[in-house]
Amino acid sequence: MLQLVDEGDIDVGNVWFSDEAYFNLDGFVNKQNWRICGTENPHVAVPSSMYSPKVMVWAAIFSKRINSSFFREQTINATKYLGILDEFVAIHYALHDHWNASWFLQDGACPHRTPAVFDFLSEHFSDRVIPLDYDKHTGSGMAWPPYSPDLTPCDFFFGGT
Q: How far is CA 127 from CA 51, 94, 98, 140, 158, in A?
A: 40, 21, 16, 5, 27
38-78: per-residue pLDDT in tens? 888 878 777 767 777 889 888 888 876 666 688 888 888 99
Nearest of 56, 77, 58 to residue 16 by alpha carbon: 58
Q: Where are the domains of the chain?
A: 1-21+58-158
Question: Coil, strand or helix: which one is 116?
Answer: helix
Whether 5 has a pLDDT exceeding 80, the answer reads: no
* Whether the predicted model's global pTM rises above the 0.95 cut: no
